[in-house]
């Protein structure tokens, strides 16, 4: 009996530690990159960023720890949801409006949500969705005239909204915010045992216009990000964005009332995943029991995937599309 109680207590402590590791950085390791940090608690800003050609190259996106790309119009047009924690840029550009899928992503982290408006149609009203989700940080919506949003005179609207991200960060009351993250990291860089080497691959959302790609650089032990076969760079630094982990998360897509600008993206449930880590490709599954819970990424053996420390891109791809992998 005593042995059973001790076992139960040990398991309880282990689960408690696992939960705390997902929300706290008191061990000196970032929950969004797995890299060392002096920040005791995660302070995550989730930013909705434009990806129309007029918004490229996006400014500040190279500082994001995690970036999601999602299709928001039937036909392949995409936007980014950028997650900042380790580094908070002074400004980012271009901020754009959000959809329900982006609120569901934000709920993975539960930090402040930065966007410029959002869809309000009945059945696809993102503001209603945000009102019923629990645990959200402040909603910083630039469309309401917030002083830390303004337009870049050197770019054309609507692809030119600048956000003073550091100002929003500094004025946020973090005392009531407990951020979290769905990713788990290795202690140090490693090449996964499973999978096959991969030189490059592409994620074709829409031919010639919305095609992110990645090339493995063995000397840097990172993937170089491309867009439409050209280097994908940060608009501030001009440097090509380097990525440590890529998740291609396959999901069910549909459209409210058949309207091509009202995406219904099923981020709850379970489906397949492709992982690109350490120059190798392997497969597995993702699962999320509730939108209030974090997504769990597993390999084909059912083990939780441990990502290499560093930057992660997550390509949310509808089931009927396929990635294109080179040798």
Going along the chain from its start, the domains and CATH numbers come out as 45-176 (3.50.90.10), 196-325 (3.50.90.10)
Q: What is the pLDDT of residue 198?
A: 98
Share of the chain above pLDDT 70, in %: 92
Low-confidence ranges of the chain (pLDDT < 50): 1-21
What does pLDDT average to over the chain?
92
Beta bridge partners of 230: 227
Look at residues 203, 214, 266, 218 and name the one whose alpha carbon lies nearest to residue 245. 214
* Phi, psi values for residue 261, rounded to 5°: -110, 15
**pLDDT tens-digit map of 88-146:** 999 999 999 999 999 999 999 999 999 999 999 999 999 999 998 877 789 999 999 99
Q: What is the pLDDT of residue 4?
A: 38
Q: What is the pLDDT of residue 136?
A: 77
* Three-class secondary structure of residue 47 per DSSP: strand
In angstroms, rounded to a whole number, what is the distance separating the alpha carbons of residues 78 and 51?
Answer: 6
Neighbouring C-beta atoms of residue 117, cutoff 10 Å: 18
Look at residues 148, 127, 163 and name the one whose alpha carbon lies nearest to residue 55. 163
Distance set, CA 105 to CA 81, 88, 130, 280 (Å): 8, 19, 11, 26
Q: What is the pLDDT of residue 27?
A: 85
Q: What is the pLDDT of residue 23?
A: 58
In three-state form (DSSP H/G/I as H, E/B as E, the rest C), the secondary structure along 219-271 is CCCEEEEEECCEECECCCCCCECEECEEEEEEECEEEHHHCCCCEEECCCEEE
User: What does the CA dihedral 128, 131, 135, 138 come to, rounded to 10 degrees?
Assistant: 100
């Amino acid at each position: 009996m005593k042995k059973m109680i001790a076992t139960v207590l040990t398991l309880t402590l282990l689960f408690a530690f696992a939960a705390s590791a997902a929300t706290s950085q008191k061990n000196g390791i970032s929950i969004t990159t797995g890299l060392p940090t002096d920040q005791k608690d995660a302070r995550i800003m989730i930013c909705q960023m434009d990806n129309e050609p007029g918004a490229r190259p996006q400014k500040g996106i190279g500082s994001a720890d995690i970036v999601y790309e999602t299709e928001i119009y039937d036909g392949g047009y995409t936007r980014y949801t950028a997650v900042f924690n380790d580094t908070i840029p002074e400004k980012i550009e271009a901020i754009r409006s959000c959809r329900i899928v982006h609120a569901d992503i934000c709920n993975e982290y539960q930090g402040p949500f930065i966007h410029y408006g959002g869809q309000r149609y009945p059945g696809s009203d993102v503001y209603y969705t945000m009102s019923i989700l629990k645990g959200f940080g402040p909603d910083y919506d630039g469309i309401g005239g917030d002083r830390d949003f303004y337009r870049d005179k050197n770019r054309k609207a609507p692809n030119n909204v600048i956000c003073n991200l550091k100002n929003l960060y500094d004025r946020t009351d973090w005392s009531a915010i407990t951020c979290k993250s769905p990713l788990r990291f290795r202690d140090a860089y490693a090449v996964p045992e499973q999978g096959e080497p991969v030189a490059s691959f592409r994620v074709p959302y829409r031919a010639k216009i919305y095609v992110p790609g990645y090339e493995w650089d063995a000397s840097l032990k990172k993937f170089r990000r491309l867009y439409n076969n050209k280097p994908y760079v940060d608009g501030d630094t001009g440097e090509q964005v380097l990525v440590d982990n890529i998740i291609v998360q396959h999901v069910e897509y549909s459209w409210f009332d058949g309207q091509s600008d009202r995406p219904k993206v099923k981020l709850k449930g379970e489906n397949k995943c492709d992982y690109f880590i350490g120059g190798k490709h392997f497969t597995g599954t993702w699962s999320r029991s509730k939108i209030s819970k974090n997504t769990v990424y597993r390999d084909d053996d059912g083990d939780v995937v441990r990502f290499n420390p560093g930057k992660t891109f997550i390509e949310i791809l509808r089931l009927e599309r396929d990635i294109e992998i080179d040798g």
